[in-house]
Amino acid sequence: MDPVQIPEPRVQILENNVGLFWENMGDTRFLSYSPKFYLYRYKSSRLDNQRRTAKKWVHPVHQQKTTHDNKRNTEWSVPSAPLSLRNIDLDLNSYFLKYDETKPATPRGQGQFKKGQPRFNRRFEYFRVRIVLEQYPGGPIYGPLSTVISAGSRRHTDGYYRLVVEHTAPSRYQERF
């Protein structure tokens, strides 16, 4: 029996809205194994209070509320028709600290340089998506990763910071898995 071919998910970004779809490669057998889009985030983790591991692509647990209090959606069903757009809600505001968008001020971010100085959010979050066949006999099968999606705050010409979502080329470190 030939192995099931899983297509690479395609990402479409329109006005900070993210849509996912797949293109027909001639083999649609993967649809019979309940495929899902899995979100991956580029992050590091702590081994202890001092050391961090190297950054890598990880799949956050989907709506886990017991140990991590994660209410984010990180899995979505794949549409059965090719080129059918599946709009997803990444809930990007939950990855960044809130700041007042009505003032042209520095946004509150993830780091603070010195006590008393305002925080500055230079951080962008990076995401990728892949199709996973959870119901495949013998365990799940993972498809190829999509292009990189970046999200973060960027200052516009009027001086206000706004959340932007865009495609970006992966760095050489992001090519590792």
Would you list the DSSP string of 23-79?
A: ---S--GGGGG-EEEEEEEEE--BSSSS-BPPPEEE---TT--SSS------EEEPP
Contacts of 22 (CB under 8 A, 6+ apart): 7, 8, 9, 10, 78, 79, 82, 83, 131
| CA angle in degrees (0–180, nearest 5) for 141-33-7 | 60
Asked if residue 132 lies in contact with residue 152, where contact means CB atoms within 8 angstroms, the answer is no
- Of 143, 129, 145, which is closest to residue 4 (Cα–Cα)? 143
End-to-end CA distance of the chain: 28
Residue with tokens 């956050």: 60
Per the DSSP assignment, residues forming a β-bridge with 57 are: 42
Q: What is the pLDDT along the chain (177 residues), one digit of tens a residue?
A: 568 899 999 999 988 789 999 998 888 999 999 999 999 988 866 666 666 667 788 887 765 555 555 567 888 999 999 999 999 888 776 776 555 555 444 444 444 444 444 444 456 888 999 999 988 888 899 999 999 998 887 777 777 777 788 888 877 777 765
Q: What is the DSSP letter of 137?
A: T
pLDDT at 30: 92
pLDDT at 96: 66
pLDDT at 151: 86
